[in-house]
Amino acid sequence: MKNKVDDFKYNLSEAFELPKDIVLDLPKITMIGNLQFQISNHKGIIEYTQETLRINSNIGIIKVEGINMELKTILSEEIIVTGNIEKIEIID
């Protein structure tokens, strides 16, 4: 059932040129080089250290690894992290 609903939402977003991250409730990830990581539409932080950040989302857990990472902004809809970002992984 959920697959049909997701397919309908996808087709609707295509037909009306609506942003997929909003219509499909997907996270939007933005990187600025390897210095800054920004995620919108997340479901909360699971783990945070200066080397590892794990964020819950509708597509799974987003794991960010780096050196000297620092949370600059934490809002209900957005997280911004700075530091030396080395790896981003999505775990289903």
Residue 9 included in any domain: no
CATH of the domain at 42: 2.60.40.2000
Residue 82 in domain = yes
Q: Which tens digits make up the pLDDT trace of 66-90?
A: 999 999 999 998 999 999 999 999 9
Compute the chain's Rg from CA coordinates. 15
The DSSP element (H or E) to which 20 belongs, if any, is helix 20-23
Q: Please check whether residue 74 lies inside any domain of the structure.
A: yes
Number of structural domains the chain divides into: 1
- The pTM score is 0.82
Q: In this predicted structure, what is the pLDDT of residue 64?
A: 97
Give the sheet arrangement for strand 36-40, strand by strand.
28-32, 36-40, 78-91, 60-74, 52-57, 45-48
- According to the model, what pLDDT value does residue 9 have? 77
In a domain, 41, yes or no: yes
> For tokens 């819950």, what's the residue?
56
Average pLDDT rounded to a whole number, residues 3-24: 77
Residue whose C-alpha is closest to residue 69's, from 92, 88, 90: 88
Domain that holds residue 72: 27-91
Provide φ and ψ at 37, rounded to 5°.
-125, 130
Residue 88's CB is within 10 A of a number of other CB atoms, namely: 15
pLDDT higher than 70, residue 2: no
Domain assignment present for residue 60? The answer is yes
Instruction: State both tokens at 11.
Output: 């087709």
The pLDDT tens digits for 17-69 are 877 777 778 899 999 999 999 999 999 999 999 999 999 999 999 999 999 99
- Residue 77 in any domain: the answer is yes
Given a cut of 90, is residue 14 above it in pLDDT?
Answer: no
